[in-house]
Chain A
Amino acid sequence: MSTVITHHPDSTTLLSYAAATIAEPLAAVVAAHLSMCPRCRAEVADLELLGAAIMLSAPDCSSGAALKVPARPADVAKLADGRVAHSNDRLPAPISAAYALSLDSIPWKRLGPGVWHHRLALRQEGDGDLRLLRIAPGRKMPDHGHGGAELTLVIEGAYRDVTGQYRRGDIQDVDEGIEHQPIVDTDGECICMIASEQPARFKSLVGRLTQPWTRM
């Protein structure tokens, strides 16, 4: 199971993940990447060390009122030992756990010839957009600009654009204003997860994906 990952999130993305200031859909994609990438897991752990140092060294701004020590908390009868049985599904574990999905149980909806999608619900609508996309071999994804932050994680297959090839586990962390035109490799379909912090922006991408084939 040697996944060679060559594209990682930007350090500013990892920091906002460690501080949990990142929009929920982007956090989901980073979580999925981390489940496959020991290198980024180690980097996030170091950033959490920084977060801990900041939390513990901050001057106390509260009124200084004494804090009540709670009574001896009840013990939980039986706790899972924290090592969740590791499933062999190709869908990243945090995603399959959160949505009770496996790669072959995704209820794909057809967007057009060779393009399917499945939207993943967020705790709060309006926090952006998270979806799985399945694209046929050799198909061009439409050109699109980026307003807010957007992350793409490859789950199966591969695509490439001017910035390189993206395979399973790779994440594309696109800076604003970068134009790119991904094309799925010809030897297989590509399943990826796309998160956007701006709902409208992603819808326009799907809109453009859809437009040539359906009239919406």
Chain B
Amino acid sequence: MLHPTSATRPVGWMTRRPFRGTMSDLLSRIATDRSEDAFRSLFKEFGPRVRNFMMQQGADAGLAEELAQETLITVWRKASLYSAEKGSATTWIYTIARNLRTDHIRRQRAWQELTDEHAQKIPSDDVPADEVMDARQRQVRVQTVLKQLPPDQVEVVKLAFMDGLPHSEIATRLSLPLGTVKSRIRLAYQKLRTALEDLQ
């Protein structure tokens, strides 16, 4: 993909990618000002992506739309609980979407949600600026790792996260031994850890 220079950048480019760096701003406008404008921006940015995620996970168009709306409504409701210390805003939206999908598509208890609620957390109202920076850097690094992974590793990782396939079903889908799927996942994971190791 080409990086548009300022001369060739099409009109509207900035509005098409508003979440980069400003996601937290949108969330804090939702949290403190209950800004409907911010909510609409957030919805336009994330709604279609979450719907796409739900369809990939096996929901039909109607259910996917419902779950996408439910995801963003949860963001609206819980925005005041979001803190940058917990990690990136996009992770937060991903976990809300994932938990709704576990509950409504897989029909299992979303244990991940229980962990988040019950893990011992240190209450903190002001997050040090360098921690916010770290969270942002982590996100950028993870995106870079994802782009640099070899195709066979990207494939298994995407089948897990996007298609919601357990390791054994990935093995069946790709006609590979389970051990091969697991070792590809371990290799991808190792690259992720290496990319993040100097950020505490």
Contacts and interface: CB of A to CB of B under 8 A. Distances in A.
B38 to A, nearest CB: 11
A41 B112 CA distance: 11
B9 interface: no
B123 to A, nearest CB: 6
Interface in A105-130: 122-124, 127
A62 B80 contact: no
Contacts, number: 200
A137 interface: no
Interface residues of A, number: 62
Interface string A38-58: 000101011111111111111
A123 B110 CA distance: 10
Interface residues of B, number: 78
Among B48, B108, B186, B192, residue most surrounded by chain A Cβ atoms (within 10 Å) = B108
Given A27-B111, A51-B94, A52-B91, A70 B69 contact: yes
Contacts of A46: 138, 142, 192-193, 196
26 contacts: A11-B189, A11-B190, A12-B167, A12-B185, A15-B189, A20-B110, A21-B165, A21-B166, A22-B166, A46-B138, A48-B95, A49-B91, A53-B142, A54-B158, A56-B90, A58-B53, A60-B48, A62-B51, A67-B43, A70-B72, A73-B77, A82-B117, A83-B121, A94-B114, A94-B118, A97-B117
Interface of A: 11-12, 14-24, 27-28, 30-31, 34-35, 41, 43, 45-58, 60-63, 65, 67-70, 72-73, 75-76, 79, 81-84, 86, 93-94, 97-98, 122-124, 127
